[in-house]
Structures are given as C-alpha cells and as structure tokens.
C-alpha cells in the first residue's frame, strides 16, 4: 500500500479539471460502498478506473450518471459544484455514460438509434439532416459502419459499441464514461474501440474508462485510479508504472496471488536453466 505515487499534484491543478469528486461517500444499508473517494478528470485525458469486483467502480459511475446520488461529498463540474439527482440531469450537464449493455434498439437503424430521444425536426423528423450529421460524426470517429440505414441488430459487437459511443457524443458532452466497453469484444473489435477512445481524447473530452482488462488500460489510459474496498488505493501515471504495480494496488498487497505465481514461475525457470 506504499505504492501510491501522487500524480495529481505534480502536473495538474484542480482548477482545470473538468470533473472533480471530493470526499464522496455512499452507503447501501449496512454496507459502506464508497468511503471518501477523490477523483479528477481532465480534458483530453483518459482515466482508467480499475479495481476488483465490489471495489465500488459501478457505484461511482452510477453517482456520476445520476442513477443514485452520493450520501456526502462534492462533485465539481467545470469549476461549479453540482448535484446530479437524475440521469437526465447528468446528461444535461454534459456527462455521457455508455453502459455495458449498450441500450440500443435492435429494430431501428443506426440513424434512429444515434438520435433516439433527441431527434431533429420540429414536427416531422428531418431524416436528411440526421443522416448527414450521423455520417459526419461517424467519420470524425473513423467508425467503420457500412451503412447507417441498416438495423443495429445486423452490426457486429464492435460496431454496436461504436454506435453506442457515437450516440453519447450527440449531446456534445465534456466527459464520457465507458463501462467495460471491450468486455464482450474480439481482438480486432477491441482494437477498434481503443482507437475510438483515443479519438475521444483527441477531441478534448475527458474519458473515464472502467475496465477489468489491464492490457486495455495500459494501451489507452493516461492515468489509472485504483479503488479497493470502496477507498482510493492509488493513482498511477500509466507510463511510469508496471502491470504488477497496478495489480498490487488492486489486490491490496505486493504479496498476492499474481506476484506469488510469477515468483514461482521465475524460480521454476531458473531451476530449468540449471
């Protein structure tokens, strides 16, 4: 637990963070899910939120998404203290959340899904405008969707993930939260989504990436925030740390299953050499 390298102080000031959480607490009945959590997201930065099952990642995301509010603590958005009582409020602020189950309507085409709930047109829908905007958006993301007039059900997993992420950008958010975006994807599709995340960063958005896959985290994240048992357990600049350091913070010790196994393998290898 001594591996905490304090990176938030050396480069960034809290003032220019697009989203800051300070001293967040959240309890469910007898369980204290989150204790005194701090989190900053800066524009043009991918922050990975990592932690074991039950570490409180989802709870934290749900607070930001407005699913349930925190018990105490403050959320600052663009320098102003805000309350996020509902999903609509979260979206209105400019926080876009892409949940793991994507929430797409399979029977509707890509354009309808992208603009669902925010259709363009006063009385009659302006399909032409929506379709050309859809193409603009997908091109900006270099998304590989062959046609925007085919039903979403016929798209691959990566393409569906792309549509879900693109949809989150329709409202022009400043923070995008991605909950396990690569969990169900193959190698190539994962790469596509990782490219997409980099493109969100290039657009100057703050990205909060929740992932169990440390390879993905190391591939795209600038910073990793580790939660353990509902508390902050370290914050790393990805470039500075190794895989083992993050594992250690996630599991809570330098002596853990993973390190023991690696040590054992190392010993075994050395013995083989002999």
Partner 1 sequence: MTQTPPVEADAPSTPSDLQDERLIRPTGFRENINAQIKRVRTGDLGSLPVIIGLLIIFVIFQILNSAFLGPQNLHDLLSGAVAIGVTSIGVVLVLLLGQIDLSIGSMAGVSSAIFGILLTQAHWPEWLIIIAALVAGALVGLLYGFLFVRFGVPSFVITLAGLLALLGLQLFILGAHGTINIQFTSFLVEFSLLNAIPTWLGLVLVVVAAVGYTVPALLSARKRTAAGLSAPRSPGIIIRGAVLLVALAAVVLYLGTGGDTAGIEDSFVMFVILIVIMNYVLTRTRWGRSVYAVGGNVEAARRAGIRVNRVYVAVFVLSSTFAALGGLLYAGHLGSAGLDSGSGDFNLDAIAAAVIGGTSLFGGRGSAWSALLGILVIWSIASGLGLLSLDSSVRYMITGAVLLLAVIVDSLSRRSRAAAGRA
Q: Which residues bind partner 1 (CB under 8 A)?
A: 87-88, 91, 99, 101-108, 112, 116-119, 121, 123-125, 127-129, 131-132, 135-136, 139, 142, 144-151, 153-154, 191-192, 195
Identity of the residue, 196 or 225, whose beta carbon is nearer to partner 1 in the bound complex: 196
Among residues 58, 68, 60, 67, the alpha carbon closest in space to that of 23 is found at 60
The structure tokens listed for 235 are 């914050």
Contact between residue 184 and residue 157 where contact means Cβ atoms under 8 Å apart: yes
Query: Of the two residues 91 and 228, which places its CB atom closer to partner 1 in the complex?
Result: 91
What is the C-alpha to C-alpha distance for residues 143 and 150, in angstroms, rounded to an integer? Answer: 15
Report the residue number, 109 or 235, with the smaller CB distance to partner 1. 109
Quote the least distance from Cβ 27 to partner 1, whole Å: 26
Residue nearer to partner 1 on the CB measure, 220 or 241: 220
Query: Of 16 and 106, which CB lies nearer to partner 1 in the complex structure?
Result: 106
| Shortest distance in whole angstroms from residue 200 CB to partner 1 | 16
In the bound complex, what is the minimum distance in angstroms from residue 67's beta carbon to partner 1?
10
Q: How far is CA 199 from each of CA 34, 46, 196, 269, rounded to the nearest angstrom?
A: 31, 11, 5, 41
Using DSSP's 3-state secondary structure scheme, residue 187 falls into: helix
At closest approach, how far in Å is the CB of 79 from partner 1?
Answer: 27
Q: How far is the CB of 144 from partner 1 (least distance, A)?
A: 8
Smallest separation, CB 89 to partner 1 (Å): 11
* Closer Cβ to partner 1, 101 or 202, answer by number: 101
Contact indicator for 233, 252 with CB cutoff of 8 Å: yes
Q: Which of 94, 98, 99 is nearest to 82 (CA)?
A: 94
Question: How many Å apart are CA 175 and CA 184, to the nearest integer?
Answer: 23
End-to-end CA distance of the chain: 35
């Amino acid at each position: 637990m001594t591996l905490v390298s304090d990176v938030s102080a050396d480069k960034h000031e809290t003032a220019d963070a697009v989203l800051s959480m300070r001293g967040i607490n959240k309890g469910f009945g007898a369980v204290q899910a989150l204790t005194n959590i701090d989190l900053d997201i800066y524009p043009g930065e991918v922050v990975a939120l990592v932690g074991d099952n039950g570490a409180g990642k989802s709870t934290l995301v749900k607070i930001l998404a407005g699913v349930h509010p925190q018990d105490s603590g403050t959320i600052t958005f663009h320098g102003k203290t805000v309350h996020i009582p509902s999903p609509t409020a979260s979206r209105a602020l400019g926080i876009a959340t892409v949940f793991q189950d994507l929430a797409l309507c399979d029977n509707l085409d890509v354009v309808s899904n992208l603009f669902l709930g925010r259709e363009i047109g006063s009385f009659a829908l302006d399909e032409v405008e929506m379709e050309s905007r859809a193409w603009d958006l997908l091109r900006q993301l270099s998304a590989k969707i062959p046609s925007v007039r085919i039903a979403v059900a016929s798209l691959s997993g990566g393409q569906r993930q792309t549509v879900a992420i693109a949809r989150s950008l329709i409202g022009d958010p400043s923070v995008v939260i991605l909950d396990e975006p690569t969990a169900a994807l193959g190698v190539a599709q994962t790469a596509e989504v990782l490219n997409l995340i980099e493109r969100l960063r290039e657009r100057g958005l703050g990205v909060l990436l929740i992932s169990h896959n440390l390879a993905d985290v190391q591939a795209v994240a600038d910073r990793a925030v580790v939660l353990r048992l509902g508390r902050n357990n370290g914050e790393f600049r990805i470039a500075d740390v190794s895989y083992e350091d993050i594992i250690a913070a996630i599991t809570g010790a330098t002596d853990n299953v993973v390190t023991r196994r690696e040590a054992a393998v190392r010993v075994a290898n050395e013995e083989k050499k002999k």
